[in-house]
Structure 1
Amino acid sequence: MNIWPKPFSDPEKLKQQLLGLSALDIILCSEDWLRRYQFFPQWDEGVTMASISNGSGDDMYILFAPEGVIVKGFDHESAMSPHARDDYEVWPGIYDQVPSALLHRLEDEALTKEDVTFCLWREPGDAEWRTGDIANPEQLDDGSDFLLGMIYETAEDYIEWAEDYYEIELPVDVVKSIFQSHMIIEKAILKLNPERNAELAVKELEAICISVKREIQS
């Protein structure tokens, strides 16, 4: 196996990034099926799962389990996609060296295990992310830069994407506070999205373990 060669957050920071992105999507989009980011604190016993989907056939699943963290990404336009291969097989080396306990976590049919163009993982105690010995002599694009790039590092990066996607202007201070603390003042929901039902948003936010300071009077 190999060390993952690109910069990537440590597991705890990664989880907090994904939680914040999901919280913002809950506020900005009332329809969950239209959201790019989803976060499930109790996907399975002891397992948290986050997903990212751009709605165009590209997705990524990140599972935080007692056995470690595993990331499975799928770029449907990649030449490394099983759909682009005559035998419809996973590209050689992607899963071969994944620890069996972590690989087993992908067996849930909702995670579409066979739709994969890259995979990385990190076991407890590891200081680096790892990936398999991928047979890719032509240096084909596996979609990892594209998909991992959707995990925004800063509020400003997220705002640049979200303002274009949702066609709204976002207050930088509010987005920054969510990025930094994962605590939301209820009135900030309407500041971000005046058309959002704040009560319903609060329920969804609390369901993913976001703290909401209630200030709006009913």
Structure 2
Amino acid sequence: MMNWPTTFMEPESLRQRLAAMSILDVILCSEDWLRRYQYNPRWDEDAALASVRNGAGDEIYIVFTPEGVIVKGFDHESGMSPYAREDGEIWPGIYEQTPSSLLDRLNDEALGKEDVTFCLWRESGDQVWRCGEIDFKGLDDGSRFLLGMIYEAPQDYVDWAEDYYDMKLPVDIVAQVYKGEPVSEEMILALNPERDVRIALKEIYEIGK
């Protein structure tokens, strides 16, 4: 195996960021199937699941477990996709060196384990993210594109969401959610005056468990 070649967030920062973006999507969009970001802290008895999906067939699943964190990404246009290969197999090296305790978490049918163009992981106690040793043959695995959808700064989320949801957003309120501050009715209405506050707060409560 090898160290992941680019800088990526620490696991807890990653979890907090994904939860925050999921909360914001709940506020901005009442239809969960239209949201890009989802976070379920009770996905399994001892694991949380986050997902990022752009609606065009590209997706990331991130599972947070006591053993560590595993990230599986799929860029449907990548030449490393199983669908782009004559044999239809997963690109060599993506999973072979992944710790079984983390890889087994992807066996849930809903996660589409076979639909993968990159995978990285961080075992509990590790100081760096790791990945398999792969011969890319000059191809792009889509990781830069997909991981770039996890916005570290509130302004970056605002820039995306204003275009996607076609609405103006107060960056100061988005920053409060990013900081993990409790979401109030006033914050919800400042972000989306049309949102049913009661329903939104119920969903937000589930994310924050």
Pairing of 1:47-126 with structure 2 (within 5 A): 47-126=47-126
1:123-142 matched pairs, under 5 angstroms = 123-138=123-138, 140-142=139-141
Equivalent residue letter for 1:80: M
Higher RCO structure, 1 or 2 (CA under 8 Å, sep 6+): 2
Q: Give deviations 1:12-37, integer Å, cap 9, x for gaps.
A: 00000000000000000000000000
Paired position in structure 1 for 2:149: 150
- TM-score, with length taken from structure 2: 0.98
Q: In structure 2, how many angstroms separate the alpha carbons of the residues matched to 1:137 and 1:107?
A: 28
Q: Is the 8 A contact 2:121 2:129 kept in 1?
A: yes
SS in 2 for 1:181: coil
| CA distance in 1 between partners of 2:19 and 2:180 (Å) | 11
**Structure 1 vs Structure 2 CA RMSD:** 0.8
Residues 16 and 180, structure 2, Cα contact 8 Å, conserved in 1 = no
Contact 2:18/2:50 (<8 A) preserved: yes
- Look up the equivalent residue of 1:122 and give its one-letter code: R
Query: 1:214: which partner in 2?
Result: none
Distance 2:202 2:184 in 1: 13
Dislocated runs of 4+, deviation >2 Å? none
> Partners in 2 of 1:88 and 1:40 — Cα distance?
31
C-alpha deviation, 1:185, in angstroms? 1.6
8 Å CA contact 2:82, 2:89 repeated in 1: yes
Alignment-derived partner of residue 167 in structure 1? 166
1:132 to partner: Cα distance: 0.1
Shift of 1:137: 3.0
Inter-partner Cα distance in structure 1 for 2:47 and 2:13: 16
Shift of 1:66: 1.2
Shift in Å, 1:186: 1.4
Residue aligning to 1:196: 195
Shift of 1:39: 0.4
Deviates further, 174-183 or 157-166: 174-183
> 1:147 aligns to what SS in structure 2?
helix
1:22 equivalent in structure 2: 22
1:102 maps to a residue whose letter is L
Give the unaligned 5+ runs of structure 1.
Answer: 211-218
Q: Tell me the distance in 1 between the aligned counterparts of 2:186 and 2:167.
A: 18
| In structure 2, distance between residues paired with 1:152 and 1:195 | 25
**Distance apart, 1:180 and its partner CA:** 1.1
C-alpha contact 2:81 2:115 (8 A) present in aligned 1: yes
Asked whether the 8 Å contact 1:20–1:182 carries over to 2, the reply is no
Equivalent position of 1:5 in the other structure:
5
Identity across aligned pairs (percent)? 61
Q: Check the 8 A contact 1:93/1:133 in 2, yes or no.
A: yes
Q: What is the Cα deviation at residue 182 of structure 1?
A: 3.8
* Aligned equivalents of 2:60, 2:181: Cα separation in 1: 22
